Structure 1
Amino acid sequence: MGVTTATHEFKSSIPAPRMFKALVQDSANFFPKIMPQFKSEVVQGDGGVGSILKTCYPEEGTQVKTVKHKVEAKDPASYYAKYTVIEGGPLSDNVESVVNEVKIEPAGDGSIVRATNHYHTKGGAADKAMIDAIGEKTLSMYKLVQDYLLANPGVCV
């Protein structure tokens, strides 16, 4: 088994506590505001560590995709969260599991959001094109979050 790691970074004018609340703590309520097709539900647990979350979201040019994540860590004090994809999404014949980490660091009046994805493969490296596409979608999602929060200063405070 191999591991391919990719990190994507987004510099935001939104402070770290507010970005963390939108991206992690209140994502099930927040994301449908910016992407009405987005659906998220807790299928096991209370939403905290150990819980299983099911997320349905559209991808351009395809039908709605479903991903199940297990919450491995959630630390609001350090703006850190870790999830393992256990079903759907990028999992394939070659990709056995994906561990996603989100770390938001204060940076002046804003923040830096770092998404690190660890692709655990059954053979060689994960498909670079797939990793790049996921990274692009992640960064565009962070931009959508930032734009919505800038336009709605009372949300996720």
Structure 2
Amino acid sequence: MGVKNFLHELKLKVSPSRIFKAVTTDADDVLPKVAPGVFKGSKVIEGGSFGPGCVVERAVVGAPNFKFKVDDIDTGKCYIKYTELEGDRIGDKFEKVHHEVVTEPSGDGGCVIKFNSNYIAKGDTVPSDEDIKTHVEKSSAFYAAIAEYLVANPHVCA
């Protein structure tokens, strides 16, 4: 099983706590509003609430649902560690993907999101740079859309 590590940073013009809430604890409300043609909803399917050990399923329009397990979370530090288990990004190439994400203030009222991801391929293959680049582009567009929504709706996740 091949493993490839990838580091990525993304700068956005929204506070760390707001973007963090929008993609974690408030995602079930926020994501369908940000991208109604993409997300139908989000819910905890294992575990009592959004926290360590829970499994979350995000219903996606026209694609396999996205499932991930929360390994660790610290809402005060805007930190989450989770493992992607199923979904379009996992496909037939990856067994799973481990992510560690920290959202920090950027000094200008916005934030910097730091991603540290380990892509674990199925079988003996090594994930290609192109496969990972596709994931990064999708994630960056996803976060940018959420940031735009939050800027346009200052009461959301405030």
The TM-score range, normalised by the shorter chain, is 0.7 to 0.9
Q: What displacement does 1:156 show?
A: 0.6
- In terms of mean alpha carbon deviation, does 5-14 or 144-153 score higher? 5-14
Alignment correspondent of 1:148: 149
1-side partners of 2:148 and 2:131: how far apart? 26
- Judged with a 3 Å threshold, the aligned counterparts in structure 2 of structure 1 residues 106 and 47 are, in CA distance, closer, same or farther, namely same
| Cα pair 1:14 1:111 within 8 Å, conserved | yes
**Offset at 1:89?**
3.1
Q: 1:43 to 1:129 in 2, by over 3 A?
A: same
Aligned match for 1:52, one of 42, 50, 55: 55
Query: Corresponding residue for 2:139?
Result: 138
TM-score by length of 2: 0.87
TM-aligned CA distance change 1:56 to 1:128, over 3 Å = farther
Q: Residue 13 of structure 1: CA displacement? A: 1.6
Counterpart of 1:42 in structure 2 is 44
Gap regions ≥5 residues in structure 2: none
Asked whether the equivalents of residues 63 and 88 of structure 2 are also in contact (C-alpha less than 8 Å), the reply is no
Provide structure 1 residue ranges, at least 5 long, that are not aligned to the other structure.
none
- Compute the displacement of 1:137 (Å): 0.8
Report the TM-score, using the length of structure 1 for normalisation. Answer: 0.88
1:1-157 equivalences in 2 (<5 Å): 1-36=1-36, 37-38=38-39, 39-45=41-47, 46-58=49-61, 63-108=62-107, 109-121=109-121, 122-157=123-158
1:40 maps to amino acid: S
The Cα RMSD (Å) is 1.7
Partners in 2 of 1:66 and 1:35 — Cα distance? Answer: 15
Residue 11 of structure 1 deviates from its aligned partner by 0.8
Paired residue secondary structure (2:133): helix
AA in 2 matched with 1:113: I
CA deviation after TM superposition for structure 1 residue 94, in Å = 4.4
Alignment coverage as a number of residue pairs: 153
Deviation sequence 1:11-44 (CA, Å, 0-9, x none): 1121111111112221111111111141211111
Which runs of 4 or more aligned residues in structure 1 lie more than 4 Å from their structure 2 counterparts after TM superposition?
Answer: none
